[in-house]
Amino acid sequence: MLKLLAVTAHPDDEAGCFGGVLSKYSGEGVECAVLCLTGGERAANRAGAADDAALKAIRRREFADSCHHLGVTTCELWEYADGNLFGADFAEVAGRVAGFIRRFQPNVVVTFGPEGFVTAHPDHGMAGLFTQAAFQFAARSLPYAERHSEGLPPWQAEKLYYCTTVFSLDVRPAVSLSPVTACIDVTPFLRRKNEAFAKHTSQLPLLPIFEHAQEQAGSEELFHLAATRKITPLRMETDLFDGLR
Ligand SMILES: [Zn+2]
């Protein structure tokens, strides 16, 4: 069975940034996992939560509902500080993500580019940097990976992609976006993607921003092939599992 792993920064990224491909590939029988690095407890929209811990608990439930709606069978939310992934210990986080990769054994890993995708959120960029390192660490007998791998052997995923876009939001434009090398038609999955985003009821004030981005993105999710086990000349792909089936 083919496996897809998405590594994200906040609860709702799985729907807003990867909802189309998660829905598409889970529907095709690909086993899908989402690893979210923060609890999203610093969100401006508080949903009446008394404190950060209460909001984190709400968002953890919303994240699980959204993942379930997208057909994701493995979802984990780690509790690194929302808004401060810069402050996390790089080797520790990358090592833990490498351990997760060894356990789940994905064929394809998707995450953010260092620019932080369409919102240029620094947490997105850091999630991408941790994952970029973890993708490599997981396949090698390095101390960073061994420390968090419970004795599991190295695992080399086939491909690593960053989600990317051809536009930026005016409020916080990305510095430089990764070139598009894969264009995935998610037309039949847009309704499910939107429904998954709406599971994040605490963040529904963000819905107009999400819908605006969705309108500009149209019916495609775009990716940049950042690393690949099989070295081939770069060409535009229409399937993240191109060459792996
Ligand atoms: Zn986010």
Q: What is the pTM of this model?
A: 0.97
Distance 117 CA to ligand 1 centre (A): 9
- Pair 202, 47: CB distance under 8 Å: yes
Distance 87 CA to ligand 1 centre (A): 17
Give percent of the chain above pLDDT 70: 100
Distance 237 CA to ligand 1 centre (A): 25
Q: Are strands 220-228 and 159-164 parallel, antiparallel or unpaired?
A: antiparallel
Sheet holding 74-80, edge to edge: 74-80, 31-38, 3-8, 108-112, 159-164, 220-228, 182-185
Going along 12-144, which residue ranges are E strands? 31-38, 74-80, 108-112
Q: What is the pLDDT of residues 164-210, one digit of tens each?
A: 998 877 778 888 999 999 999 999 999 999 999 999 999 999 888 88
Distance 61 CA to ligand 1 centre (A): 16
Each residue's pLDDT, cut to its tens digit, for the chain (245 residues) gives: 999 999 999 999 999 999 999 999 999 999 999 999 999 999 999 999 999 999 999 999 999 999 999 999 999 999 999 999 999 999 999 999 999 999 999 999 999 999 999 889 999 999 999 999 999 999 998 887 788 888 999 999 999 999 999 887 777 888 899 999 999 999 999 999 999 999 999 999 988 888 888 888 889 999 999 999 998 888 999 999 999 99
Residue from 179, 174, 186 nearest 240 by CA: 186
Per-residue pLDDT at 241 = 98
Q: 77: which strand partners?
A: 36
Distance 141 CA to ligand 1 centre (A): 31
Give the SS3 label for residue 18: coil
DSSP H/E element including 24:
helix 19-27
Distance 231 CA to ligand 1 centre (A): 31
CATH level 2 (architecture), domain 3-228:
3-Layer(aba) Sandwich (3.40)
Q: In 10 A of CB 231, how many CB atoms?
A: 6
Distance 11 CA to ligand 1 centre (A): 7
Distance 245 CA to ligand 1 centre (A): 31
